[in-house]
Amino acid sequence: MPIIVTPETNIPLPFDTTPQELKSFRDKAHAYFVTVEELVKKGLDPIVTDTDKSIAHQAFATSKLPAPKAITPGAILNLEAMLTDWDQEVMDVSRRLRNYVTNKLISETVDPDPKVRLKSLELLGRVATVGLFSERIDITVTHRTINDIENELKKTLELFNGDVVDVTPHEPVKSLATLDVAAEIGEVDSGQHTAS
């Protein structure tokens, strides 16, 4: 006899926070922790009580920090420990999942079907640590001074011509406003030209 499963669609998710809100919560909690850490360096000796643990668990579950006056140093220390454990667990799950997928792809490389073998090898090649099929283009921009460029150009020109002569203009460049066109061209005698 088959079992028929009908999912309920009206059940809300266990949390209603966005990734940005979670990051903001994590950043604020860590800022509180850094403050408590500085106070510990100055002689504060916080003790984590059951009430502190309760406050920390409530903040962790709701992703909302209590008002600054309502949260104690002990609650902040406990919350930071919980969040650090959570971060480590998320990283560990990600690492384990990556290893699992990689191992499954490796086992598929000996499949009798060549299409499956080729696809698994292609996916293995795309793994970030392998990077065989990455479609990334590396562009390196090197900033150099004008003197470095001139020296390199002189060395290149020496290979082709032997001696490099630094050419500097003999006369300063004149602007059009100060240029005497008649003097530059020379006087033209109007009598020499005849209409044809």
**pLDDT single digits (tens) 128-149:** 676 666 666 778 888 888 888 8
CA distance readout (Å), 115 to 51, 111, 121 = 60, 9, 10
Instruction: Quote the CA–CA distance of 79 and 34 in Å, as a whole number.
Output: 12
pLDDT band at 196; cut points 50, 70, 90: very low
**pLDDT single digits (tens) 66-125:** 887 888 888 888 888 888 887 777 777 778 888 888 888 888 888 899 898 888 888 888
User: Domain coordinates of the chain in residue numbers?
Assistant: 19-125
Give, as one character, the DSSP assignment of residue 188. P
Instruction: Tell me the pTM.
Output: 0.41
Instruction: Quote the CA–CA distance of 151 and 31 in Å, as a whole number.
Output: 52
**pLDDT single digits (tens) 154-192:** 888 777 765 656 666 666 666 777 777 777 777 655 555
Torsion over CA of 80, 83, 84 and 86, rounded to 10 degrees?
A: 160
Q: Which of 95, 55, 102, 110 is nearest to 78 (CA)?
A: 55
Joined tokens for residue 12: 């809300």
Instruction: Quote the CA–CA distance of 49 and 75 in Å, as a whole number.
Output: 8
Identify the pLDDT of residue 166.
64
Task: Judge whether 136 and 126 are in contact, CB under 8 Å.
Answer: no
Residue type, 38: E
